[in-house]
């Protein structure tokens, strides 16, 4: 960041159905960068309503980044990713898959659907913080996001 510039708070949509993983992710980002605003939803249907500002999400902000779990009820991460990348008004938003899946087929399938990254959720909180720091360093310090243009 150049001298005199101020950091713009980042907005992340967290699509995660496991309440403990939501709590862990919140704690992680509070530790890594308290300027990040994390908006959790618990399935793909809610994520699409948030992204499209529908229903109870009419005032939701457009996220800079989506962190997407794969295995969720109602509408899983693959279906959600496919909808995001097919929607011209949403396909500019980067999507990082953050999941417990170790399945190589999952890795291949989400990259075919145009995921920007695939990260495996660590078990250890310190490892989770390391991943959170990497997300912030890359997506909010190095990358120029569409919201910054």
- Residue 52 belongs to some domain of the structure: yes
User: How high is the mean pLDDT of the chain?
Assistant: 92
- The number of residues making up the chain comes to 149
| CA triple 109-110-116, angle to 5 deg | 145
pLDDT of residue 97: 97
Give the domain CATH number at 49.
3.40.50.2300
**Number of domains the chain contains:** 1
The domain in which residue 31 lies consists of: 11-140
Structural contact between residues 22 and 40, judged by C-beta atoms closer than 8 angstroms: yes
For residue 142, how many C-alpha atoms fall within 13 Å in the half-sphere facing its CB?
7
pLDDT of residue 7: 54
- Residue 130 belongs to some domain of the structure: yes
Task: State phi, psi for 91 to the nearest 5 degrees.
Answer: -65, -10
pLDDT over 80 (residue 4): no
Identify the H or E element spanning 119: strand 117-120
- Residue 3 belongs to some domain of the structure: no
- Residue 4 belongs to some domain of the structure: no
Confidence of residue 144 (pLDDT cuts 50, 70, 90): confident
Please choose, from the candidates 40, 69, 70, the residue with its C-alpha nearest in 3D space to the C-alpha of residue 57.
Answer: 40
pLDDT over 90 (residue 44): yes
Q: What is the pLDDT of residues 84-135, one digit of tens each?
A: 999 999 999 999 999 998 899 999 999 999 999 999 998 899 999 999 999 9
Identify the H or E element spanning 118: strand 117-120
Confidence of residue 8 (pLDDT cuts 50, 70, 90): low
- Residue 148 belongs to some domain of the structure: no
Helix, strand, coil % over all residues of the chain, rounded to 5: 45, 15, 40
Please choose, from the candidates 147, 134, 138, 106, the residue with its C-alpha nearest in 3D space to the C-alpha of residue 29.
Answer: 134
Q: How far apart are the first and last CA of the chain?
A: 16
């Amino acid at each position: 960041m150049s001298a005199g510039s101020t950091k713009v708070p980042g907005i992340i949509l967290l699509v995660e159905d496991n309440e403990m993983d939501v709590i862990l992710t919140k704690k992680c980002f509070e530790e890594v960068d308290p300027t990040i605003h994390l908006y959790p939803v618990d399935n793909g249907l809610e994520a699409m309503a948030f992204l499209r500002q529908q229903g109870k999400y009419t005032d939701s902000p457009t996220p800079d980044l989506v962190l997407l779990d794969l295995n969720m009820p109602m509408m899983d991460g693959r279906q959600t990713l496919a909808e995001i990348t097919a929607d011209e008004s949403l396909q500019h938003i980067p999507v990082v898959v953050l999941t417990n899946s170790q399945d190589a087929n999952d890795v291949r399938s989400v990259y075919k659907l145009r995921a920007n990254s695939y990260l495996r959720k660590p078990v250890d909180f310190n490892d989770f913080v390391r991943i959170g720091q990497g997300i912030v360093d890359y997506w909010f310090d190095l990358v120029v996001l569409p919201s910054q243009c």
